[in-house]
Homo-oligomer: A and B are copies of this chain.
């Protein structure tokens, strides 16, 4: 069992790519998730957590999410290991999401009126076959 549930805001617009072999859509973005307590200087800190989404959900996220937007994400925690060009073993930890719920629009946005996304719709919740990490990206 491996479950992660996060609520946070995108630090940048999502990046959408396609796997070289099968052209499967993959989107990635980073969430800033507020810590539940203040640090020693009395400041609120955040964890910056990398999110990966596949297929239709990737396209939905790429089309509808922007820097600053708040989302709830659920998925599983994945640790991928790889070797650097310098021959060092390194690892990336990320959340492979199977559900992304859009929670608000960014406050600072100057979004056009004709952008009529339902801000609380669920996209593609969990019925899609989310592959593994077939390719490095």
B36 touches A76 (CB 8 A): yes
Which B residues are in CB contact (< 8 Å) with A101? 1, 7
A132, B6: Cβ atoms closer than 8 Å: no
The number of chain A residues with a CB under 8 A from chain B is 40
Chain A positions 97-112 with a Cβ under 8 Å from a chain B Cβ: 98-99, 101, 103-104
Residue of B nearest to A133 (CB): B39
CB contact between A127 and one of B40, B129, B134 (< 8 Å): that residue: B129
User: A134–B45 Cα gap in the complex (Å)?
Assistant: 13
CB-CB < 8 A to A79: which residues of B? Answer: 47-49, 93
Q: Among B2, B6, B36, which residue has its beta carbon within 8 angstroms of that of A36? A: B2
Please tell me if A5 contacts chain B, counting CB pairs below 8 Å: yes
Residue pair B132, A35 in contact (C-beta under 8 Å): yes
Cβ of A33 under 8 Å from chain B: yes
Interchain CA distance A93-B79 in the complex, whole Å: 9
Report chain B residues within 8 Å CB of A122.
34, 36
CB pairs A–B below 8 angstroms (9 shown): A2-B7, A2-B35, A3-B6, A4-B77, A6-B77, A7-B103, A47-B78, A49-B79, A79-B93
The 9 nearest A-B residue pairs measured at CB: A93-B93, A1-B7, A36-B125, A3-B5, A47-B79, A2-B33, A5-B5, A4-B4, A1-B72
